[in-house]
Chain A
């Protein structure tokens, strides 16, 4: 972590932030209400209010600052995130409009993106508090349609430098290699799942942009009762069914799947809104892949740790979830050995 130019304290950060905004074209910027929303080993996120403009024409705006603290994390670099968010915003997707980006991070200690701040709360919290002001299944159908709208974006229009070319085998290798590279011999279930995935790479007719982490706590529920999609760091060109499988990993009563719609109803809503049919064999492949990928993310602290002993307390807590993932993977492997017929 580099904290040379601006540390994690608000005293250091506020003037540095104002200087950045001035360099970015905001006249006489004043930063107020700066507060850290989240922090960790890979990112930190700050909320603040900006007032700027000439005397008599002052304007205010609620903004958000997101810094990348670990260059070795698995997430998309800030410059790519900025280009992607700008493109998505221009394409009419409900995302926070990005305003400034510094891919080097000289002024604030780390690479960063500044974007507009939508007032609201994440959908998971809203659901945990009793609801988001609308009928749950209606929200579920809206989110299925929104996920379909992301998948329908024309990749030819997308700033192509953001993404690597589509290659399922490479994606599978990227995440599985992470798990096999550790000092310990991987659990037999993991080894078997990885071998099966590598031997059963699916054909994908129409690769598309996938969010990569489309779940309730990455959806901001605005005060107006509309969803805003956050956290695009895992976005890539992929299989739309892969994106659905990842969303289906999260199944508590405060998640999209099981919280808003049953798994089958979520698929039906997606199929209806996109006028497509979800291939259940591919879905099965991607569900198993999602378990393996999540295992890699949890065990590596999102790519920040080479070894379990390097994990901070929060990442260590998350890494303990791999027992659940191994048990679930074993269920998939039992089904495969039995020819499915679950």
Chain B
């Protein structure tokens, strides 16, 4: 057997959880188990990261009207995860600047554009829920609490609770 990188992560995670955690002092046990979970989450992320980041970069670039950093051209020539991450970070920074500018305008057209961008960012964050072990991967707290939201922030009636 010649384990690849993902196999290695799984093997080390299993070793930490099944063999080592019961052998360390109680004070260290939870950290060892957390380390095993971190490796399992990292494995899931690495397994999906390349196509997912490429897709997100394309989506973010489209949201910016086609803007792309210099290293975007490198993607087709010598694709690398770190290159994609750098492109992704640049695009997120640009989208953040765009969002803040739109928020500052506060016009109806800005609100429509903002709603589209936020919906895109929600979907992107939603695709990463399987890479964490803190919250349930199948539902957001916002979905659970939606029924407590006001109908309208400008409507005084909403101060008393959602009525319709």
Contact = CB atoms under 8 A, between A and B. Distances in A.
Contact of B161 (A280, A326, A331, A336): A280
A188 to B, nearest CB: 4
Contact of B121 (A36, A189, A277): A189
Contact of A283 (B131, B140, B148): B148
Contacts of A341: 151-152
Contact of A331 (B38, B96, B122, B158): B122
A191 B129 contact: no
A169 interface: no
B93 A264 contact: no
Contacts of A280: 148-150, 158-162
Interface string A313-332: 11011101111101111111
Contact of A339 (B27, B30, B93, B154): B154
A339 B108 CA distance: 10
A287 B162 CA distance: 15
Interface stretch (A74-82, A160-168, A246-254): A246-254
Given A189-B121, A192-B96, A252 B34 contact: no
B128 interface: yes
Contact of A330 (B31, B118, B141): B118
A191 B161 contact: no
B145 interface: yes
Q: How large is the interface on A (under 10, 10 to 19, 20 to 34, 35 or more residues)?
A: 35 or more
A328 B161 contact: no
A327 B115 contact: no
Interface string B77-118: 000000000000100110110111001000000011011011
Instruction: Identify which of B26, B144, B162 gathers the most chain A CB atoms within 10 Å of its CB.
Output: B144
B32 A187 contact: no
Interface residues of B, number: 58
A26 interface: no
A201 to B, nearest CB: 14
**Main SS of chain A's interface residues?**
helix
A274 to B, nearest CB: 15
A327 B122 contact: yes
B129 A323 contact: yes
Given A185-B96, A330-B125, A339 B133 contact: no
A312 interface: yes
B121 A313 contact: no
B96 A316 contact: no
Interface in B1-52: 26-27, 30-32, 34-35, 37-38, 41
Contacts of A237: none
Contact of A284 (B117, B121, B150): B150
Nearest to B110: A337
A335 interface: yes
Contacts of B128: 323
B100 A318 contact: no
- Which residue, of B111, B121, B148, B159, has the highest number of chain A Cβ atoms within 10 A? B148
Contact of B145 (A184, A281, A287, A298): A287
Contacts of A184: 89
A334 interface: yes
B10 to A, nearest CB: 17
Contact of B31 (A44, A283, A284, A314): A314
B69 interface: no
A262 to B, nearest CB: 8
Nearest to B163: A280
Contact of B140 (A189, A327, A337): A327
Interface string A287-322: 100010000001000000000000011101110111
A317 B27 contact: no
Nearest to B63: A188
Given A188-B95, A277-B160, A333-B114, 15 more contacts: A39-B27, A251-B141, A258-B144, A263-B144, A280-B148, A280-B159, A324-B135, A328-B142, A331-B143, A333-B118, A339-B111, A339-B154, A340-B150, A340-B152, A340-B153
13 contacts: A39-B30, A184-B89, A188-B92, A188-B95, A188-B98, A279-B159, A279-B160, A281-B150, A316-B38, A318-B134, A327-B129, A339-B111, A340-B158
